[in-house]
Chain A
Amino acid sequence: MTINCKGESLILSTDRAIYWASKKMLIISDLHIGKGAHFRKAGIQVPAAVNETDLDKLAKLLLTFSPEILLVTGDMFHSKMNTEVEQFSQWRAQYPDLKVILIKGNHDLLQAEDYARLAIEVHSKELLCFPFRFIHDQPAVFDEYYNITGHIHPGITIYGKARQHLKLPCFYFGRTCAILPAFSVFTGLSKIKAEEGHQFYAITPEKVVLV
Chain B
Amino acid sequence: MMLEKSKGYKQVIKWLKTTRKKPFKFQTDAWEYYAEGYSGLVNAPTGFGKTFSMFLAVVIDELNNQEAAKIAGRVKLSKDSNANNRIAKEKTSKEKISKGSSAKVSMLKKAKSSTGLKLLWITPLRSLAKDLARAMTEVCRELDLDWQVGVRNGDTAQSEKLKQKKQMPEVLIITPESMHLLLAQKNTSGYFDDLQCIVADEWHELLGSKRGVMAELAISRIKGLVQEKHPERLLRIWGISATIGNMEQALDVLVPYEEVLKTIVVADLEKKIEIKSILPDHIDMLPWAGHLGHKLAHKLLPIIEKSKTTLIFCNTRGQAELWYQNLLKLDENLAGQIAIHHGSIDYELRNWIEDAIHTGVLKAVISTSSLDLGVDFKPVDTVVQIGSPKGVARFLQRAGRSGHSPYETSKIYFLPTHALELVEAAAIKEAAKTQNIESREPVVMAFDVLIQYMVTLAVGDGFDDKKLYEEVKTTHAFRELEPSEWSWMMQFITTGGDSLTAYTEFSKVEKEEGLWKVKSRQIAMRHRLHIGTIVSDAMIKVKYMTGGYVGMVEESFLSKIKPGKSFTLAGRVLEFIMIKEMTALVRKSRLKSAITPSWMGGRMSLTANLGAILRQKYNQTLDKTHEDEELDIVLPLFERQAKVSHVPKDDEFLIELIKTRDGYHFFAYPFEGRQVHEILAALIAYRLGKVKPISFSIAMNDYGFELLSEQPIPLDEENIKLLFSPVNLGEDIVASINSTEMARRKFRDIACISGLVFQGFPGKYVANKHLQSSAALFFNVFSDYDKHNLLLRQAYDEAFYQQIEEPRLAAALHRIQASKVIIVKTESYTPLCFPIKVDSLRDSMSTEELGERIARMTAEADKKEAQPQRRRKNDHQL
A45 CA to B789 CA in the complex, in Å? Answer: 11
Q: Does A120 contact B (CB under 8 A)?
A: no
8 Å CB contact of B785 from A47, A161, A206, A207:
A47
Pair B710/A161 contact, Cβ less than 8 Å: yes
Contact with B along A55-80 (1 / 0, CB 8 A): 00000000000000000000000110
> Are the CB atoms of B506 and A206 closer together than 8 Å?
no
Q: Is the CB of A50 within 8 A of B662?
A: no
Tell me, rounded to whole Å, the shortest Cβ–Cβ distance linking A79 to chain B. Answer: 5
The CA of A159 and the CA of B871, in the complex, are separated in Å by 14
Ordered by A's residue number, 13 sampled pairs between the chains whose C-beta atoms are within 8 Å are A40-B506, A42-B522, A42-B523, A43-B523, A43-B755, A47-B782, A49-B784, A53-B784, A158-B857, A163-B842, A166-B853, A186-B773, A209-B851
Please give the distance in Å from A31's CB to the nearest CB on chain B.
Answer: 14
Residues of A within 8 A of B782 (CB): 47
A204 touches B503 (CB 8 A): no
B697–A162 CB distance below 8 A = yes
Most chain A CB atoms below 10 A, which of B664, B695, B697, B857: B857
- Verify B770–A209 contact, CB threshold 8 A: no
| Min CB gap A170→B, angstroms | 11
Taking the closest CB of chain B, its distance from the CB of A76, in whole angstroms, is: 14
Residues of B close to A209: CB separation below 8 A: 851, 854-855, 858
11 more A-B residue pairs beyond the given contacts A49-B784, A160-B695, with a C-beta to C-beta distance below 8 A: A38-B771, A45-B756, A46-B496, A46-B781, A47-B496, A47-B782, A83-B505, A159-B861, A160-B860, A185-B781, A188-B773
Pairwise interchain contact B663-A43, C-beta atoms closer than 8 A? no
Count of chain A residues near B, Cβ 8 A:
43
Check: A82 CB closer than 8 A to any chain B CB: yes
**Within the assembled complex, what's the spacing in Å between the Cα atoms of A38 and B771?**
8
Q: Which residue of A has the minimal Cβ distance to B754?
A: A45
A43 to B494: give the CA distance in the assembly, Å.
Answer: 9
Q: Distance (Å) between the CB of A184 and the closest chain B CB? A: 10
Name B502's contact: one of A47, A158, A160, A187 (CB within 8 Å): A47
Task: From known contacts A186-B781, A187-B777, A202-B854, infer whether A41 and B506 are also in contact, taking CB-CB under 8 Å.
Answer: yes
| Most chain B beta-carbon contacts within 10 A, residue among A45, A49, A186 | A45
How far, in whole Å, are A169 and B94 apart by their CA atoms in the complex?
A: 73
C-beta contact mask, A164-191 vs B, less than 8 Å → 1, else 0? 1110100000000000000001111000
User: A72-101: contact bitstring with B at CB < 8 Å (1 yes, 0 no)?
Assistant: 000000110011000000000000000000
Interface contact A43-B508, CB-CB below 8 Å: yes
Residues of A within 8 A of B855 (CB): 209
Q: Kindly report which residue of chain B lies nearest to residue A206, judged by CB atoms.
A: B851
Contact residues in B for A185 (Cβ distance below 8 Å): 780-781, 784
- Other-chain residue from B710, B773, B777 in contact with A160 (beta carbon distance below 8 A): B710
Does A48 make an interface contact (CB < 8 A)?
Answer: yes
CA distance A161 to B862 in the complex (A): 12
* A116 in the interface (beta carbon within 8 A): no
Would you call A211 an interface residue if the criterion is a C-beta within 8 Å of the partner chain's C-beta atoms?
Answer: yes
Most chain B CB atoms below 10 A, which of A37, A44, A207: A44
Q: Are B756 and A163 in contact (CB under 8 A)?
A: no
Q: Does B520 count as interface, using CB distance less than 8 angstroms?
A: yes
A41–B526 Cα distance when bound, in Å, is: 13
A83 CA / B506 CA spacing, docked (Å):
11
Contact (Cβ within 8 A) A79 B850: no
Q: A41-B507, A49-B501 are in contact. Are A161 and B663 (CB under 8 A)?
A: yes
B786 nearest CB neighbor, chain A only: A47
